[in-house]
């Protein structure tokens, strides 16, 4: 049986990074959302404002979007290459869904002053413990959107992970 991410329900492809302290056996997208201090986090993800979705639901949706692109031999990293109008319906739908999620980064920037995960992590490191304890109230709608990259030792291994998961 394949491993399933406990946070988003996606299949997990393994990589060499040990994440047992932060999220145990989780997928790359859920790993990003639990590790805002990653060296390349601003190239891997962006903050969006989407209170109507949990982080796990965002990751499950994005995982399906990326998988659809990969199945059709398309690059998964944002910004996406324009699709021809005669592209398969599932690919057009995936592109539209992803673009709608990316648009939500503008709302995050308005509400939080940034769409950078690194900026948020840095700000959280400076706040008082009492405010940190209330971070869910203050940041309740903030979500992390994968930009289709996952770096290990300076190399983007995300396309390889998508192939392993199929």
Tens digits of residue pLDDT in 127-158: 888 887 887 777 889 999 999 999 999 999 99
Which positions ≥6 away from 25 have C-beta within 8 Å? 3, 5, 6, 12, 19
Where do we find the tokens 């203050």? Answer: 138
Phi, psi of 150 (to 5 degrees): -150, 110
CA pair distance 37, 130, nearest whole angstrom: 21
Which pTM value belongs to this model? 0.88
Give the rounded percent of residues in the chain with a pLDDT score beyond 70: 90
């Amino acid at each position: 049986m394949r491993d399933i991410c406990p946070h988003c329900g996606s299949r997990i492809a393994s990589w060499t990074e040990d994440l047992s302290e932060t999220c145990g056996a989780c997928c790359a997208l859920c790993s990003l959302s639990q590790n805002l201090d990653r060296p390349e986090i601003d190239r891997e993800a962006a903050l969006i404002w989407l209170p109507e979705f949990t982080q796990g639901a965002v990751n499950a949706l994005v995982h399906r979007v990326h998988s659809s692109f990969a199945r059709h031999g398309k690059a998964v990293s944002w910004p996406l290459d324009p699709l021809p109008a005669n592209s398969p319906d599932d690919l057009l739908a995936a592109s539209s869904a992803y673009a709608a999620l990316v648009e939500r980064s503008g709302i995050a920037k308005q509400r939080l002053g940034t769409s950078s995960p690194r900026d948020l992590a840095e700000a959280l490191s400076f706040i008082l413990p009492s405010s940190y304890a209330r971070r869910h109230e203050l940041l309740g709608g903030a979500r992390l959107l994968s930009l289709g990259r996952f770096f290990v030792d300076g190399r983007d291994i995300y396309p390889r992970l998508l192939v392993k998961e199929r």
